[in-house]
Amino acid sequence: MLLETVGAPLRAAELAEPRAGGGELVVEIGACGVCRTDLHVVDGELPEPALPLVPGHQVVGRVTAGGERFGAGERVGVPWLGWTCGECRFCRSGRENLCDRARFTGYTRPGGYAERIAADERFCLRLPDGYPDLQAAPLLCAGLIGYRTLRLAGDAERVGIYGFGAAAHIVIQVALHQGRRLFAFTRAGDDAAQAFARELGAEWAGPSDEPAPEELDAALIFAPAGPLVPAALRAVAKGGSVVCGGIHMSDIPAMPYELLWGERVLRSVANLTRADGEEFLALAPEVPVRTEVESHPLEDANEALARLRGGLVRGSAVLVP
Ligand SMILES: [Zn+2]
Ligand SMILES: [Zn+2]
């Protein structure tokens, strides 16, 4: 499924077979998760996608032509981080997620809304057994980025989650496993998302335009809405953190300094490192994280994106070729 012009629907296209360059694998795709970042790419909210582009960066499949790390027939995950330079000051200090020259699957490299993909095997991830392809796909971004977002909130006990979609439904399971208390904030009137959050163990779920029932120690923002930043800062206690987990957000409104005062921290999360991937994929079966998915045939990618845009997806949407 090809994005030729930003803002236009994807189009089913016959493309040349991907060829494995040096150090690359060809992977026969079993499932590819749909992420909000895909919507930002399709809508032109991220600069310079490599058009014409196959989106998708939560790819699960089997290696057809083996490399050195993975043999033919092995199952791998292909995540967002597709390549880094290994040389810049970020790469050399364990922060490859910030690499100046990083390339991203389904954005600046071809992605997984397809039947096959070529991927640099150094950035492919081994997947835990016990997760069928469909259930494994959302672990690769919703899970990974969600986990990094939670980790950057430190040892916060009372955690608020703003936006209860794919990332949140995974993060809440990890956070509860770590003994934290969870509060879920959704769009006003989104009773389904609030009920889903309670089912997964949130002790409170309500609309984001209402005050939190008690002070929070951290807030994780997954919804791409800038006005949630001052709302979340207002909800966290002195010394608390607000972590923005998305790649794009609408503008943050002006706010009084007193919301940040008291050593509150506001930060973002950018991308993932391979170490995040290995750590999270080892942790997921221990929790155990269970992902809730709705599957769509690959050719219905536009419909899956529309459902995500409309807030209609419970858990994560996944495309199956
Ligand atoms: Zn680099
Ligand atoms: Zn993503």
Render each residue's pLDDT in the chain as its tens digit; 321 residues. Answer: 999 999 999 999 999 999 999 999 999 999 999 999 999 999 999 999 999 999 999 999 999 987 899 999 999 999 999 999 999 999 999 999 999 999 999 999 999 999 999 999 999 999 999 999 999 999 999 999 999 999 999 999 999 999 999 999 999 999 999 999 999 999 999 999 999 999 999 999 999 999 999 999 999 999 999 999 999 999 999 999 999 999 999 999 999 999 999 999 999 999 999 999 999 999 999 999 999 999 999 999 999 999 999 999 999 999 999
CA of 144 to the centre of ligand 2 (A): 9
CA–CA separation, 209 vs 119, rounded Å? Answer: 42
CA of 76 to the centre of ligand 1 (A): 23
CA of 258 to the centre of ligand 2 (A): 33
Paired sense of beta strands 216-221 and 236-244, if any: parallel
CA of 271 to the centre of ligand 1 (A): 13
**Ligand closest to the CA atom of residue 245:** 2
CA of 257 to the centre of ligand 2 (A): 32
Q: What are the residues facing 50 on neighbouring strands? A: none
Give the angle 279-280-285 at the CA atoms, nearest 5°: 110
CA of 81 to the centre of ligand 1 (A): 12
CA of 246 to the centre of ligand 2 (A): 8
CA of 203 to the centre of ligand 2 (A): 27
**Ligand closest to the CA atom of residue 85:** 1
CA of 41 to the centre of ligand 1 (A): 22
**Ligand closest to the CA atom of residue 248:** 2
Burial of residue 22, with CB atoms counted within 10 A of its CB: 0-12 exposed, 13-18 middle, 19 or more buried: exposed
CA of 93 to the centre of ligand 1 (A): 10
**Ligand closest to the CA atom of residue 106:** 2
CA of 37 to the centre of ligand 2 (A): 5
Q: What are phi and psi of 300, to 5 degrees?
A: -100, 25
**Per-residue burial over 117-153, b = 16 or more CB atoms within 10 Å of its CB, e = otherwise:** bbbbbebbbebbeebebbbbbbbbbbbbbbbbbbebb
CA–CA separation, 230 vs 226, rounded Å? Answer: 8
**Ligand closest to the CA atom of residue 273:** 1
CA of 84 to the centre of ligand 1 (A): 5
